[in-house]
Amino acid sequence: GQQLQACIGCQECLLACPSITEPLLVSDLNAQTYGGAAITLPVAKFALACTQCGACVSACPVGLRRDAMMLWLKVRLSTATATGKSRSGLWSLLRNLLV
């Protein structure tokens, strides 16, 4: 909620992240974390790779807690796969990533 409204879209959190392996837009990450948008493969991979190290938090010029937002995204991913309500096939996606 409030974290997303304060985000200025500068990408500093993603630039500081040691876990990111492919380009992402912070606007896509935000929409898929809280906005209800379907979670894409790159965002799901990024969520699984996140180690909660906090590099994103210290890099944020407006003091957002991206680490907490990433934790929420992980919860959203696990809930979607556990309930089978995912519109984007997250269960098979995660199964393929973990095998």
- Per-residue pLDDT band for 94 (boundaries 50, 70, 90) equals low
Domain ranges for the chain: 2-98
Nearest alpha carbon to residue 70 among 49, 91, 88: 49
For the record, the structure tokens of 74 come out as 């992980």
Measured CA to CA, the distance from residue 21 to residue 18 in angstroms comes to 8
For the record, the structure tokens of 12 come out as 């500093």
Which are the contacts of 3, defined by CB distance < 8 A and separation ≥ 6? 34, 64, 65, 68, 69
pLDDT in tens, 61-93: 999 999 998 998 998 888 765 555 544 455 555
pLDDT in tens, 12-67: 999 999 999 889 999 999 998 887 788 899 999 999 999 999 999 999 999 999 99
Q: What is the pTM of this model?
A: 0.75
